[in-house]
Amino acid sequence: MGSGWTTMETVVTSFVNEKPNELLQLKKMQLEQEESIGLSVRKIDGLLHGDASEITAA
């Protein structure tokens, strides 16, 4: 049981250690997408209202 348990422990430990990095990456990607969507919305809003400064800023 000793070696089997150690292997399982290693797998679980590496899994747990990798998860926070994955979550950070996902959160970062989500924020980038939200930022991109925000810029697009401002561009469209600028086009609809004829505000050229919003278009060039985005």
Helices (H) and strands (E) in the chain, counts: 2, 0
The pTM (predicted TM-score) of the whole model is 0.45
> Do 39 and 57 contact (CB within 8 A), yes or no?
no
Question: What would the pLDDT profile of 22-58 be if each residue is shown by its tens digit?
Answer: 878 888 999 899 888 888 888 888 888 876 555 555 4
The sign of the CA dihedral 22, 26, 31, 35 is: positive
> Do 8 and 23 contact (CB within 8 A), yes or no?
no
From the list 24, 25, 28, 57, the residue with the least C-alpha distance to 40 is 57
Residue 11 scores a pLDDT above 60: yes
pLDDT at 50: 77
